[in-house]
Amino acid sequence: MKVNGAHVGIVIVSHSPLIARGTADMVRQMVGDSVPLAWCGGNADGGLGTNVGDIVEAISSAWSEAGVAVFVDLGGAETNSEMAIEMLEPARARRVLICNAPLVEGAVMAAAEASGGAALARVVATAEELSP
């Protein structure tokens, strides 16, 4: 598990592991290793879907003392992410936010903001400006 305090972490949750991984690749290309980053996608059987255990793991792996911004695609990804956040210890759960933003654009914008050392609220707000 990365221990990072300076930069907000980014987590990407998609129903499709290919989309999640591809989005993470784009974030990496943009900000390199300066931001903690993790992705997950697919259900417990390896099909399309999301699952809480993988989301908890992704948040832990991208954990930063500055907090973590989570990007989701469709409904179940959001509901499962909320559930995952509630399962974290409360001190951590308070520092994880789900962004209401498009997955790819939101994650890339947020990561760029995070790489500059912005606080969690600022990172989330920047990504959410993309939402209509």
Give the residues lining the site for another protein (CB under 8 A): 15, 43-45, 47-53, 74-76, 79-80, 82-83
For another protein, give the closer residue by CB, 81 or 115. 81
Say what the alpha-carbon torsion angle 75, 78, 84, 86 is, to the nearest 10 degrees.
-110
Residue 51: CB atoms within 10 Å: 20
Q: Where are the alpha helices (DSSP H) in the chain?
A: 17-31, 52-61, 75-87, 90-93, 103-115, 120-128
Shortest Å distance, C-beta 105 to another protein: 20
Supply 105's token pair.
């654009």
Nearest distance from C-beta of residue 84 to another protein, angstroms: 9
Q: Give min distance, CB of 9 to another protein, in A.
A: 22
- What are residue 41's DSSP bridge partners? 14
Catalytic site residue from 10, 13, 14, 15: 15
Locate tokens 């949750």: which residue?
Answer: 13
Residue 32 vs 53, nearer CB to another protein? 53
Residue 7 is among the residues annotated as catalytic for this protein: no
Which residue's CB is nearer to another protein, number 7 or number 15?
Answer: 15
Residue positions annotated with a catalytic role = 15
